[in-house]
Amino acid sequence: MEPVKIGLLGLGTVGGGSVTVLTRNADEIARRAGRAIQITHAAARQYDPERIEGLEQIGRISDDAFAVVDDLAVEIVIELIGGYSPARELVLKAIENGKHVVTANKALIAMHGNEIFAAAQAKGVMVGFEAAVAGGIPIIKAVREGLAANRIEWIAGIINGTGNFILTEMRDKGRDFADVLAEAQRLGYAEADPTFDVEGIDAAHKLTILASLAFGIPLQFDKTFTEGISKIEPQDVAFAAELGYRIKHLGITRRTAAGIEMRVHPTLIPHRRLIANVDGVMNAVLVKGDAVGPTLYYGAGAGALPTASAVVADVVDLVRALTTDPTNRVPHLAFQPGELADTPVLPIDAVETAYYLRITALDRPGVMASIAGILSEEGISIEAIKQKEPAEGETTVPLILLTHRIEEAAMNRAIARIEAFDGVSGKVVRIRMEGLEG
């Protein structure tokens, strides 16, 4: 049988990795797919031939991406150029031309996935996006297929390798934020715009996708609450550790009676949880299903070969599906397209979680009592308190409080009142806290 002809857009970190994996494992991949897979046409603006194994086997390489999606011989287009545009136009054009698509582009899927999947559905083609979430971990397959029997209750994941790498290096080696970020960029982990990593946008793209797969709702990136790691201070990492917690940057989505939570933010989690020990560029996703209970998926969340592993697995899936009935394929968002629900997404004010607060308190009688009074009036119950001795010559002390779960709106009111109180100096540091109990 003729090899399946692939058009490849992008020969950067993931594009180069995909060529390498398809070359190195060509025989095994063909045995799995049932046909050989050949990249016949690629487009890239620039690439490093030294880093790509098997580059010479690509039929034709130019810098014209639209020529690839218009190439009549190409059956599957792999989009690995990233970003919103021209990736969106290229993917839509490939679909219009009747080609299946594989992409690692989480920004594209989170923002334009509804449009792209509708176009693919109408045309009877598939769009694979396993590599868009958690790099090499087959989390989309797990949620969409492996857990299809379950009513999913919640998902919590470390889904940005760069952010986790930075937090880990800062905690373990006391390294400087900018220095670790530069290393992540050198290693090919970071996004083209690294603020996407450190401000949580990349994780929010991925969380948006996971929420849709878990709960059968349209992609709604604009409703995902997003807070990054750039304001995490070493003293909070240390205080959290003293209290038995680690700070991780988590994406959390949960089904509640009132609606669906979609949020990305630094989170204190008990250090004894397996996920609290996921370090460096590794990702991990905890999924709680009603039948299966908690399940945990772990692996490399970024990097050339791990991400290529997911890209090539999608290609194998598509090759197998080439001859199947288009109406009987695994739906893009796990639920049949006509069955997506309009369940509301909760604003962050309505989300209920526990909190770590660090308050800079004046060292004088009655301050602690007044703060406790404000919390009590807002219905907030304190779980633990820690107060440090003032440093030599200092008139303020850090006061650390852990609270029970409470609606964010009540916490916002309490924080505003505490900050207005003259026994307190500066802003209250607030980090959300989750037990992640099974």
Q: Which residue has the tokens 């996921």?
A: 278
- Residue 55 CB, shortest distance to ligand HSE, in Å, is 23
- Give the residue, chosen from 302, 308, 359, 436, that forms a contact with ligand HSE under the rule CB under 6 A: 302
Query: Is 162 among the residues that bind ligand HSE (CB under 6 A)?
Result: yes
Q: Which stretch binds ligand HSE (CB under 6 A): 67-75, 156-164, 237-245, 422-430?
A: 156-164
Within a 13 Å sphere around the CA of 325, how many CA atoms are in the beta-carbon half?
2
With contact defined as beta carbons under 8 Å apart, do 228 and 392 qualify?
A: no
- Cα separation, 208 vs 296, in Å, equals 19
Q: Which residue's CB is nearer to ligand HSE, number 75 or number 191?
A: 191
With contact defined as beta carbons under 8 Å apart, do 382 and 375 qualify?
A: yes
- Residue 202 CB, shortest distance to ligand HSE, in Å, is 5
Query: Is 189 among the residues that bind ligand HSE (CB under 6 A)?
Result: yes
Query: Is 160 among the residues that bind ligand HSE (CB under 6 A)?
Result: yes
Q: Which residues are annotated as a binding site for L-homoserine?
A: 191
For 39, 91, 135, 312, the CA distances from 70, given in Å and listed in that order, are 15, 11, 28, 22
Query: Can you read off the two tokens belonging to residue 92?
Result: 């839509």
- Give the residue, chosen from 79, 169, 202, 408, that forms a contact with ligand HSE under the rule CB under 6 A: 202
Site string for ligand HSE, 88-127 (x = CB under 6 A): ----------------------------------------
With contact defined as beta carbons under 8 Å apart, do 231 and 163 qualify?
A: no
- Cα separation, 191 vs 184, in Å, equals 9
With contact defined as beta carbons under 8 Å apart, do 106 and 264 qualify?
A: no
- Residue 228 CB, shortest distance to ligand HSE, in Å, is 12
- Residue 62 CB, shortest distance to ligand HSE, in Å, is 27
- Cα separation, 196 vs 48, in Å, equals 24
Q: Which residue's CB is nearer to ligand HSE, number 197 or number 199?
A: 197
Q: Are strands 352-362 and 396-403 parallel, antiparallel or unpaired?
A: antiparallel
Q: Which residue's CB is nearer to ligand HSE, number 30 or number 132?
A: 132
Cβ neighbours for 185, distance < 8 A, ≥ 6 positions apart: 194
Applying the rule CB under 6 A, the residues between 125 and 144 that interact with ligand HSE are 135
Query: Is 75 among the residues that bind ligand HSE (CB under 6 A)?
Result: no
Within a 13 Å sphere around the CA of 119, how many CA atoms are in the beta-carbon half?
21
Query: Is 161 among the residues that bind ligand HSE (CB under 6 A)?
Result: yes
For 299, 370, 374, 381, 410, the CA distances from 377, given in Å and listed in that order, are 45, 11, 5, 10, 10
Q: Which stretch binds ligand HSE (CB under 6 A): 58-66, 146-154, 187-195, 246-254?
A: 187-195
Q: Which stretch binds ligand HSE (CB under 6 A): 184-192, 287-295, 311-319, 329-337?
A: 184-192
The neighbouring-strand residues paired with 358 are 400, 429
- Residue 135 CB, shortest distance to ligand HSE, in Å, is 5
- Among the options 5, 206, 223, 288, which is catalytic? 206
Taking alpha carbons only, the member of 358, 355, 365 closest to residue 426 is: 358
Q: Has 206 been annotated as catalytic? A: yes
- Residue 196 CB, shortest distance to ligand HSE, in Å, is 7
- Cα separation, 278 vs 383, in Å, equals 26
List interacting residues with ligand HSE (CB under 6 A): 135, 160-162, 189-191, 197, 202, 301-302
Active site residues: 206
